[in-house]
Amino acid sequence: MREIIFDTETTGLDAKDDRIIEIGAVELVNRFPTGRTFHHYIHPEGRAIHPDAQAVHGISLADLAEKPIFSGVADEFIAFIDGAKLIAHNANFDIGFINAEFARLGYAPVETGRVIDTLALARRKHPMGPNSLDALCKRYGVDNSRRTKHGALLDSELLAEVYIELIGGKQAALILETAAAAAAGEALSAGLADVSYVRPAPLPPRLTEAERAAHAKLVGGLGENAIWAKLQPTVLAAE
């Protein structure tokens, strides 16, 4: 199962008029990071960056002067997310901007059925909140000390760890590994139980003839109802 955790930074809050200026994404396969990432800063094509937005992500127009426009990275991004579920925190915001950029290029939008919103997951799991990315990092012990400003790639990496914790991925993997180990142990035990060991040659007797005679004399004196009288042939044979 392939999933892409992604995040965007933008010039403002209105997807119709504002533009994406950064995209970051990380790949998970079977809930484990593969190390593959996607990251680009993007020139907003003349759109100013709102001061409130810049205060959050710290990206200025000067920082983007030599960066590609969205059309220059769109095909690479589409290839990176192809066939995967898309996961974002407050996903409606990020998908809204992605689809607005796609629409400007005449590309098909991302279908909502491909998208998982970790904010919605967190609100269901922790209804009393808080459920911001920073709060969830603290709840799950994810180190976010590098997050002095919002950044699309760093936030995607942090969200990947949070997402795995939200869905119980590590715990589920541990349970599966434990179950597999138990099943292997049971199979081994069953196999051993089916093995019959036959000694190729009997061990030499450990009783001397004198000891056998002394034991028989003792048992004879106990009477015919004595337990030893009934067990003596078996015991002696075992010896």
**pLDDT digit string, tens, across residues 68-81:** 999 999 999 999 99
- Among candidate residues 153, 170, 187, the one where a domain is terminated: 170
Answer whether residue 179 is part of any domain.
no
In a domain, 10, yes or no: yes
3-state helix, strand, coil in the chain (%, to 5): 50, 15, 35
Q: Give the number of domains in the chain.
A: 2
Bridge partner list, 162: none
In this prediction, residue 149 carries a pLDDT of: 79
Spot the catalytic one: 40, 43, 89, 150.
150
Q: What is the pTM of this model?
A: 0.70
Quote the CA–CA distance of 231 and 202 in Å, as a whole number. Answer: 21
Q: Are residues 166 and 55 in the same domain?
A: yes
Sheet containing strand 32-41, edge to edge, reads 32-41, 20-29, 2-10, 85-88, 115-117
For the chain, residues with pLDDT lower than 70 are 169-200, 203, 228-239
Query: Quick one: 160 and 213 in the same domain?
Result: no
Q: pLDDT value at position 211?
A: 83
Residue 215 lies in a domain: yes
Range of the domain at 108: 2-170
Active site annotation includes 40: no
